[in-house]
A and B are shown apart, each in its own frame.
Chain A
Amino acid sequence: MSHEPFETLAAVYAAGALDGDDLVQFEAHLPGCAECQAAVREAQDTLARAMLSARPQTPLPAVREALVRRVERTRGAGRRAWLTWAAATAVVAAVAAGFTATWVAVRYEARLGQMARETAAVKERLTRNEAALQEQVALYRGAVELLRDPATRVVDLRGQGTAASASGRMIWNDAGGGHLFVAGLPPAPAGKTYALWTISGGTPRAAGLFGVDASGRSAHRIAPEVARGAVGVFAVTLEPEGGTPAPTGPIVLASK
């Protein structure tokens, strides 16, 4: 075999990328070949210089301080007489330390895993909360925007029938849609939902379905597309889940 292939292997070896048979072959060859030793040395130096040619960046002073402290602690404790007999007990200690280290490592890994899970859970909760808040802010902002328009009306809705204690307030703009805020409405029974209707000229038009939270409150946005023409009356009925094209259930809230 000519020497040429080894020169290539020397470069790959210096870059830390040699593997398989090439690695076995090269490592067998290297100790006896001054030329390859020089080639590896030179390639490693080249790589080091290249890596060190980047713009310097001083690491945190804490790293230096920790190292200096560590260096100061260890020196001087080097060659003391007790080390001789200490060596005798070292085997016993090493075995014990081995067990302890393994145990600590296992515990540590487990704890790390637990922390990772906890962190993930907290992160997820925060993300959810933030999304909910954002949504709420957007809703309120929309309502405030609507209120700035002089054409916007605020209409009160009164509880009817079994929901007599409920109340509602509609912020409505014939061009921009509206916001319905509801309080005191009992949660809809299973399989049912609340439906809002805009009634103009005696004809009800579906303006969306909504539920209420545990405290009987709700904020429901009515898209501008729904607002077509002047609305006379707003009403809320209890309807089967999924809604109906026209009101069928009892009226729970209505404007005058």
Chain B
Amino acid sequence: MGTPGGDLIRVMAAGDRDAFARFYDRYAPFVFPFVLRIVRDRADAADVLQDVFWEAWRGAAAYDSARGTPEAWIITRARTRAIDRVRAVRRRGETFVAAVDEATVGAPTPPGGDAAVRAEERQLVASALAQLSEAQREIIELAYYSGLTQREIAERLAQPLGTVKTRIRLALARLREAVTPT
């Protein structure tokens, strides 16, 4: 998916709406499950998706192929927006904690979200991430999906900070092999 995506962004930057539609059709079906995986709510995921592609349209002129692939450009943006959304939702929950806590939060939301979301998680596991060991996948998920920092991960996994850093590096190296066509 190398250059064609980059070409689309360049044409988009010139104001070509059809290029935007093609760009959306090309990437949205991949960005959507990724965002959904982070925010775990279809309505939220649709909102985030719209924000991400709207920003892509507005920011197309600033895209620099020397600084990254189109895939990294859109996914990095999607990750930031999705994690922002999760944090905003959490803050909102905390603001009204007294009212919402007992009845809404405490009650019937199963830990893994609804069945559809769980099915999507399984699909994602069937992707390149499946090539990682359980421990490597966990650390990538904590960092990339949950947005935890190295210190937070170290605390969560009760491991030394140095170990966490090394594990992230090794997991990325393994992932790189998995996504590199042989």
Contacts and interface: CB of A to CB of B under 8 A. Distances in A.
A42 to B, nearest CB: 7
Nearest to B46: A63
Given A17-B148, A54-B126, A11 B96 contact: no
Interface residues of A, number: 54
Contacts, number: 179
A15 B175 CA distance: 12
Nearest to B32: A59
Most chain B CB within 10 A, of A48, A53, A62, A72, is at: A48
Given A16-B143, A20-B151, A67-B54, A52 B165 contact: no
B153 interface: yes
A46 to B, nearest CB: 4
Contact of B17 (A20, A50, A68, A117): A68
B129 interface: yes
A113 interface: yes
A113 B176 contact: no
Interface string A53-82: 111111110111011101110010000000
A15 B17 contact: no
Contacts of A54: 30, 33-34, 123-124, 126-127
A193 interface: no
Nearest to A55: B123
A52 B30 contact: yes
B13 interface: no
